[in-house]
């Protein structure tokens, strides 16, 4: 584990990526988040949300999302391996959607993140797909084939995060109902 913020800055993106992946894929992401948060490491690792980390709203959201991530780690969908990454970065996407179109926002957020944490880029296609599913969960009118949408490996992962988001934003409960009924 890193002992201070300056050491985290000295770590190469590939090493940093490997450490983040270990945390995300072990089923202990919430515990590891708390440990790394003590050293302000997440602000360096996830620049698109650095101004949100430490705020009560983000901290409550991330605690619930990462507890779900740890539970999802045990689920069979291969896409759950990216839940941690998507859960952490989704608030940056959501905030920017207020002023820009989805594709532009997603490109901006992922480009910012890959500059620091380049190892995620090898999973770029899957990660983009998960973010797109999350976006479509809040815009179901844009889904052209609901049956195929629900049959995708991305669907259960996106639904889990939508449920987390709905716990903090009651306007999303109708989308949860739409996809679960």
Using alpha carbons, list the distances in angstroms from residue 46 to 14, 73, 89, 109, 128. Answer: 14, 21, 7, 10, 16
- The larger pLDDT score, comparing residue 158 to residue 123, is at 158
Predicted pLDDT of residue 2: 46
**pLDDT, tens only, 154-178:** 999 899 999 999 999 999 999 999 9
Taking the CB of residue 127, how many other CB atoms lie within 10 A of it?
21
Cβ neighbours around 174 below 10 Å, total: 11
Give how far Cα 19 sits from Cα of 29, 43, 132, 136, 157, Å. Answer: 11, 15, 26, 31, 22
Which structural domain range is residue 150 located in? 5-180
Residue 10 sits in a domain whose CATH number is 1.10.3090.10
> Domains in the chain: how many in total?
1
- Which of 11-15, 33-37, 66-70, 162-166 has the least mean pLDDT? 11-15
Q: How far apart (Å, rounded) are the C-alpha atoms in residues 59 and 52?
A: 8
% of the chain with per-residue pLDDT over 70: 80
Both structure tokens of 88: 């952490």
- pLDDT at res. 119: 60
Statement: the pTM of the whole predicted model exceeds 0.85:
no
């Amino acid at each position: 584990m890193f002992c201070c913020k300056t050491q985290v800055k000295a770590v190469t993106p590939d090493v940093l990526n490997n450490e983040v992946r270990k945390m995300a894929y072990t089923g202990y992401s919430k515990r590891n988040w708390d440990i790394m948060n003590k050293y302000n490491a997440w602000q360096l690792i996830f620049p698109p949300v650095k101004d949100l980390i430490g705020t009560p709203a983000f901290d409550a959201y991330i605690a619930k999302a990462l507890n779900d991530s740890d539970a999802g780690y045990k689920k069979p969908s291969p896409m759950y391996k990216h839940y941690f990454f998507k859960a952490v970065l989704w608030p940056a996407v959501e905030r920017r959607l207020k002023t820009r179109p989805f594709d532009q926002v997603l490109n901006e957020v992922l480009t910012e993140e890959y500059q620091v944490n380049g190892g995620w880029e090898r999973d770029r296609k899957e990660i983009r797909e998960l973010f797109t599913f999350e976006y479509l969960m809040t815009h179901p009118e844009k889904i052209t084939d609901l049956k195929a949408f629900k049959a995708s490996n991305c669907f259960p992962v996106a639904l889990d995060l939508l449920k987390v988001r709905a716990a903090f934003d009651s306007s999303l409960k109708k989308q949860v109902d739409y996809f679960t009924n």
